[in-house]
Amino acid sequence: MKKHIIAAALTGALLTLAGCADESMPPSVQAQQLQPIDVASVLVKPVQSWHTYTTRLESPQEVALMPRVSGVIENIAFNEGDNVKKGDLLFKLDDRPFAAVVASLEAQINSAQAALEQAKSEAKRAVRLTERKAISTEQAESRTSVLRQREAQVAALQAQLTSAKLDLEFTSVVSPIDGIISRANITRGNNIIAGQSVLTSIVSNEKMYAYFDVDERTWNSAFSNVTAASHQPVVMQKVGQHEFAYKGYINFIDNQINPSTGTLRVRAVFNEDSDQLRAGSFARIKLAANSISEQVIVPDRAIGTDLKNRFVLTVGENNVLQYKLVTVGERYGSLRAVTSGLSEGDIIAINGPARVGPGMPIEPNTVTIDSSDVAFTLSNDESRIVAKQ
C-alpha cells in the first residue's frame, strides 16, 4: 500500500515539474517546434470534363501490293522503308514473253486487215455484178458474209492486242498510292503469281485515323449535339509519352448505336505531325465535353484517402489543420478538380497528409499553385494538354 502511495506522489511531482518547465519555456522556443508546411489558396478555374479512350492508329489507305501478271522479278526499284509517290516504279518483271505476244498479235492484225480489205473489195464487186446479173444472189451474199467474218476477226485480234499490251504494261509494278513502303517480300529472280504473291505493303502517311467507342450514356449526356461537321477537337498520347501532344478532331460518327455493346463508333483524324505517327500504334485519346464549368483546383498530392473517403487538410484558426471531406473530379496534369467540399478562398496544405494530420498546429509557408502548363479547357487553338496519368 505504501509503495502505491509513494509511486503516485512521485508521478504527481514529475507532472508538476513538467508543467512548470512548459510554462517557463519562452513562446519563441515553442514556435520553433511547429512544423513548417507549404500552404496555398485553392484555384478556381473554368474546366471541361475529359473522357479517355484507348485505340490503335489506322492508315486511311493501306495496300498489300500484288502483281496483275505472273512472271519473274527482274528488278526492284525502291529502297525499303522509303516514302513513295503514286505511279513510282517499284518492281520490274521480265517483259520479253509479253512483248512477244504483242508482236505476234500485231502481225496477225496486219494479216487480218489485208484479208479484210480484200473482202471489202470482193463485196463491192459482187454488188456491181449482181446489178448486171453476172453472179447469183447466193454468191453475192456469200461475199458479204466473208466481209463480216473478216471484220469480226480484226475486232477480236484488236481486243487481244489491247489485253496483251495491258499485260506488258503490268510488268512494271507501280505504287497505287502515296505512302511509306515496307520491305520487299519477294526478291529479284523469283517467280510471282498474278493476284496471289504479296510483293510488299504500302501505308498512307498523310493523316492517321483513330477509331474508338463511346458508351451511349456518355455520348447522350456530353456530346449529343456533336456532329462530324462540327470537328469536335481531341488530343492524343502515344505509348511512352507524358503529354497529349497531338491535336485532331472527330470527322466520322457512326449512324447507329451498337446494340450488342451499347457504344457508338467514332473516328478522329490527325493531320498535323502525321509523319511522326505509325499505323498500328497504341494511343490514348482524350475527348473534352462541350460544357464548361468553374471548379476548385488543388494539387493531386494534397488529397488524402481515409478508407472510402477523400479529404484535404485546410488551415483554420490559429494555423491548426482541419479535416475536410471532398469529392474529386477530373485530373489535369498534376492538379485535380474538387467538385464539393472546398470553396474559393480556402487555404490547404498542398503536400497532403503525409507529414501532418488534423488538429496539428503548423507554421504555414505560403506558396502559389502553379497551373501555367496545364490546359483546363480545349479550344481549337490549343495544340497540346499536359496530362501525366
Segment 67-79, tens digit of pLDDT? 999 999 999 999 9
User: Taking residues 257-284, what's their average pLDDT?
Assistant: 91
Give yes or no for a contact between 291 and 48, defined as CB atoms under 8 angstroms apart.
Answer: yes
7 or 260, which is more confident? 260
Residue with cell 510471282: 192
pLDDT in tens, 320-352: 999 999 999 888 878 999 989 999 989 999 887
pLDDT above 70 (res 24): no
The pLDDT assigned to 15 comes to 39
Place of cell 489485208: 114
- Pick the residue with more confidence: 197 or 388? 197
Helices H, strands E: what count in the chain?
5, 23
Total-model pTM: 0.66
Q: What count of other Cβ atoms lies within 10 Å of the Cβ of residue 57?
A: 21
The mean predicted confidence, pLDDT, of the chain is 84
pLDDT digits (tens, 9 = 90+) for 140-163: 778 788 888 888 999 999 999 999
The enclosing H or E element of 386 equals strand 385-386
Residue 55's pLDDT is 95
Q: What is the DSSP letter of 389?
A: -
Q: Which single residue is written with the C-alpha cell 479535416?
A: 323
On whether the CB atoms of residues 208 and 277 are closer than 8 A, the answer is: yes
The closest alpha carbon to 52, from 207, 210, 208, belongs to 210
pLDDT of residue 7: 42
